[in-house]
Amino acid sequence: MKRHSVVRKLFIITSFIIIGLLTIVLMLESLFFERFYKSVKQHEQETAIVKLIDEVEALQSNEQEIAYTIGRAMNEYDASIALLNEDLSVRPLDVYFIHLQSGTQIIKVMINEEGMRYGELPSGISQGQTLVVDGIFMDQHDTVMHPINFNPEASQPEPGLVRVSGTISRLLLPEQRSYNPLYQDLLITDMIQDWNTSEPAATSNPKPYVTTEWIDSWSGVTYIATLGKLEASNTSIVMMESLQPVNEAIAMLRKYVMVLFPFIVVIVIILAVMYSRYIARPLVKINGFAAQLAQLQFSGTPPVQSRDEYGELSSHLVTLSHNLERALEEVKLRNEQLQVEIDHKIQQEELRKELVANIAHELKTPLSVVKGYAEGLQDGIAAHKQDAYLAHIVRETDVMNELIMDLLELSKYEGNAIKLKLANINLVELLQAEVQALAIHLANKALKANIETSMLTEPYVVGDYKRLKQVIVNLLSNAARHADSGSTITITVKPIDAGRVKVTIYNEGQPISKSNLQRIWDKFYRVEQARDRRSGGTGLGLTIVKHILLLHHSEFGAVNQLDGVAFYFTLKEGRVEDDDKN
């Protein structure tokens, strides 16, 4: 191993870092771990008591829900919790219980700390399961039971006991507790008495909470307790958690680590040598390769400017970056920029030409018709047909106006100037209304429209009513325009995954070729190659539909089916509302 080699440096640095970190961890563990452990416990308990006070105050005087909230908190925080009266006596609460639905009667099985051992509690039960309990009824109405046996094996209860079987409708049992909760919950009374004797001012007027430590005289276990006062009443809440003795654990851990320390040092040295050699070996190879690439040749040795491989490698890489990287990156970046600019200009030019040609074509026909009828009126030809000529001129003017309005609306969509007004919409009602509005148009081709839905209730969707109406009108008009005379247009509404609704509008007729299916959503594109306006539409309807559906984050498209074409789109499912609210 060379004196100034990378392997030697990596070995020394790695060994010192690992051994130093291990030593620091041991020192910090010995000095601060116990204090840190208690500080964290106290902070977590104070945060929990403040949260619990807010929850209990929100329940006001609902004893049953207060008991349920305290029971859940005991399981969540692994602590014993009690509600105290004004005189600091523990208020009895039925924290743990099981509600059994037996016929039409609900029987409350009480889990009493004084009459039940922790090992006797049922395990693995949940709401909805069937449970059999032998016990004693504690009230006149036989609705509160003190349990003796859960799921007894005997076919008959013991003398003096009553057997109840039912379905669990609600329950709360001690769980995720690191000690016997039924025993420790009974220690709160002793703790309050000792605390009140030693610190009466603290227990009588917590602001807003007081935390202390208490030692169980019988077991010698140390507990940390926090007492908080409810502002809305003269009651208090106390939370108590066990502080597991950590001094003995720390001492044992320290001895254990000291025994392992020599072995750890040996392992660290071996791993450091292996790691250093593993890291340095490829660097040496890269160093020789980089030296040749730095001068754009595969021979020659540059001067050495440092005493280790890292210095040599850095010198070669700097030279390489100056000679190659800068030039190559500049060329590459410039080429990419030029290519992007060229592609953008070509695309913009094609779009401009296509738009100009489409607008010119769409306006040429109505303008020619208007000019012809106007010249006829000017020359006085067919004076008795003047009203018909004027009607043709007005109709063609309406066609041009419709085209211009569609262009203006499309420009708003393309300029992101449209903001949706979302609401819950009854989709079937909207479809029925638009089918009725197109009744005359459908009757001209002897068409029928049938709405089918597989949803049990009327589907509601989230969307902009005005825009969705425009989508449905355009798609229905498109279907009617291309449907075979005397056929049926089928409108299907069905739910799909992720809370969405799919609408499909199918018409019988000639299928659309694959190439046309990809372009029907483009501006001014028509499947009819002759572009005859008598077939209807401005060529912008499906483009506007596309933009509206994109704003609704919809999946849409058109597919050829057996005897026709189906257009579909999806919408987010909404909630059912009253008719007056909708």
Q: Which two tokens stand for residue 256?
A: 């254990």
The pair of structure tokens assigned to 82 is 């009690």
Segment (H or E) for 423: strand 422-426
pTM recorded for the entire structure: 0.42
What is the full DSSP assignment across 228-241? EE-TTSS-EEEEEE
Give pLDDT, residue 28: 76
What is the rounded distance in angstroms from the CA atom of residue 203 to the CA atom of residue 198? 10
Task: Provide the token pair at 305.
Answer: 């400017």
Q: Which of 456, 465, 474 is nearest to 427 (CA)?
A: 465
pLDDT at 565: 92
What is the per-residue pLDDT across 447-499, written as a single tens digit (0 to 9) for each?
999 999 887 677 899 998 888 988 898 899 889 988 999 999 999 999 988 78
Question: Which residue do the tokens 């208007």 mark?
Answer: 370
Question: Using CA atoms, how far apart are residues 137 and 161, in angstroms rounded to an integer?
Answer: 9
Q: How far apart are CA 430 and CA 413, in angstroms?
A: 23
**CA pair distance 457, 426, nearest whole angstrom:** 10
Q: Where are the alpha helices (DSSP H) in 114-246?
A: 181-184, 187-198, 200-204
pLDDT at 241 (0 to 100): 85
pLDDT, residue 581, reads 44
CATH among 3.90.1300.10, 3.30.470.10, 3.40.33.10, 3.30.565.10 for 419-572: 3.30.565.10
Residues 6 or more apart whose Cβ sits within 8 Å of residue 497: none
- Report the greatest alpha carbon distance in the chain: 123
* Core vs surface per residue 31-64: b (16+ CB within 10 A) or e: eeebeeeeeebbeebbebbeebbeebeeeeeeee
Domain boundaries, the chain: 78-243, 303-417, 419-572
Retrieve residue 477's tokens.
């008009």
The Cα 265–Cα 167 span in angstroms is 61
Neighbour-count burial for 230-246, b at 16+ CB within 10 Å, e otherwise? beeeebbbbbbbbbeeb
Distances (CA, A) of 468 to 168, 427, 545, 547: 48, 9, 9, 11
The whole-angstrom separation of Cα 64 and Cα 94 is 8
Would you say 165 and 130 are in contact if contact means Cβ atoms under 8 Å apart?
Answer: yes
Q: Whole-angstrom Cα distance, residue 34 to residue 21? A: 20
Residue 355: closest CA among 402, 407, 413 = 407
CATH class of 303-417: mainly alpha
Splitting the chain (582 residues) into consecutive groups of 10 residues, what average pLDDT does each group show?
A: 68 81 76 80 88 87 86 86 84 85 89 62 84 89 87 86 91 70 71 76 60 82 86 82 69 74 81 74 69 64 59 68 74 88 80 65 69 74 72 72 67 69 90 88 89 83 88 89 90 87 92 81 62 54 83 89 90 70 43
Distance CA 244, CA 246 (A): 6
Q: What is the pLDDT of residues 27-54, one digit of tens each?
A: 777 677 778 888 888 888 889 988 998 8
Q: 427-437 vs 465-482: helix axis angle to the nearest 10?
A: 50
Q: What integer pLDDT is reported at residue 17 of this predicted model?
A: 84
pLDDT at 164: 92
Residue 449's CB is within 10 A of a number of other CB atoms, namely 22
What lies within 8 Å, CB to CB, of 115 at 6+ separation is 146
Report pLDDT for 553.
87
Which pair of structure tokens corresponds to residue 1?
A: 């191993």
Cα 402 to Cα 411: distance, rounded to the nearest angstrom: 14
Q: Exposure pattern of 327-360 as b/e (b: 16+ CB <10 Å)?
A: eeeeeeeeeeeeeeeeeeeeeeeeeeeeeeebee
How far apart (Å, rounded) are the C-alpha atoms in residues 91 and 84?
5
